[in-house]
Amino acid sequence: MDGTNTNLGSIKIPPALEYSATDPENQTFTITEYLNGKQLRSFPGTAGQKYPFTIDHDTWIRLDLDVAHQLKVRATDSTGLFSERIYTFTRIETHIEFMLDLANPSVRAQFSLDGKPERVLLTLDKYLPTGAMIESVKVCNNALDASPTWEDATGAVKGGRGYLFTNKTKTAENWAINFWVTIAKGTAAERVKLNGYGGAFD
C-alpha cells in the first residue's frame, strides 16, 4: 500500500482519500475498505491504480460526534499476505441546520394549503448547553415557489410567540409552509441536541 497511516484530525466534511497498491511478487490481490471495523466494500485490485476512498453522506451524518473513528484499507494477496493503511479522524460540527423536505409527498401534504397562511408558531424540542444559541429561524408561506420568500422569525421563536407572515404572493399552485433553523454550537463544551419540533399554522 502506498502512503502512511494518518491522523486526519477533527473534520466537518467526509474525508476524500486516494490510495493504490502493488504486489512485489505480482500476485493477484483483493482490496477491502472498512469504517470502524465494518466492511464497506471489497473488490479485485489492479496494481498501481488509484482508488478513491470516502464516506457517503448518509453514513457520515450517522457517525457520532466528538469521538475517534477509523478508516482502513487492506490489500490481501492470493497467498493471504496483506498490507493496510489506517486513517483516524474525529467528526465535529459547529452548526445544526435543517428544514422540511417538501419533496417527500407525505411532508408536502401536511404543510400545503389552499388558502394563504397568515401566521406560524414553531417550537423546538432542544437542549442548548451554555455557549450554544439559536442563530436564526427563517419561515416562508410560499415554500413551493422556485424562490420562496424567507422571513426572519428568530425573535418570535426564541420568545415562544407566533409569527405573522408579511408575504402575500406565490407563483406555485398551492401555498406551503417551511422553516429553516440554524443552531450554532458556539463555545459550548457539551453536545447540542435537537430532538424535534412542534407548532401550528393558520
Q: Which amino acid is at 127?
A: Y
Mean pLDDT across the chain: 95
The pLDDT tens digits of the residues spanning 103-122 come to 999 999 999 999 999 999 99
The pLDDT tens digits of the residues spanning 121-178 come to 999 999 999 999 999 999 999 999 999 999 999 999 999 999 999 999 999 999 999 9
Q: Where are the beta strands (DSSP E) in 23-93?
A: 29-35, 38-44, 51-53, 68-77, 82-91
Residue recorded with cell 418570535: 156
- What dihedral angle (degrees, nearest 10) is formed by the CA atoms of 132, 198, 123, 136? 60
Q: Are 160 and 199 in contact (CB under 8 A)?
A: no
**pTM, rounded to two decimals:** 0.69
The sheet carrying 193-201 orders its strands as 163-164, 119-127, 193-201
- Cα-Cα-Cα-Cα dihedral sign, residues 147, 148, 151, 156: negative
Tell me what pLDDT residue 193 has. 87
CA distance 185 to 135: 9
Q: What structural domains does the chain harbor?
A: 6-91 (2.60.40.10), 95-201 (no CATH)
Tell me what pLDDT residue 31 has. 98
CA distance to 10, 50, 74, 89, 164, per residue, from 69 (Å): 10, 23, 17, 5, 45
Tell me what pLDDT residue 181 has. 96
Tell me what pLDDT residue 150 has. 98
Q: DSSP 3-state assignment of 85?
A: strand
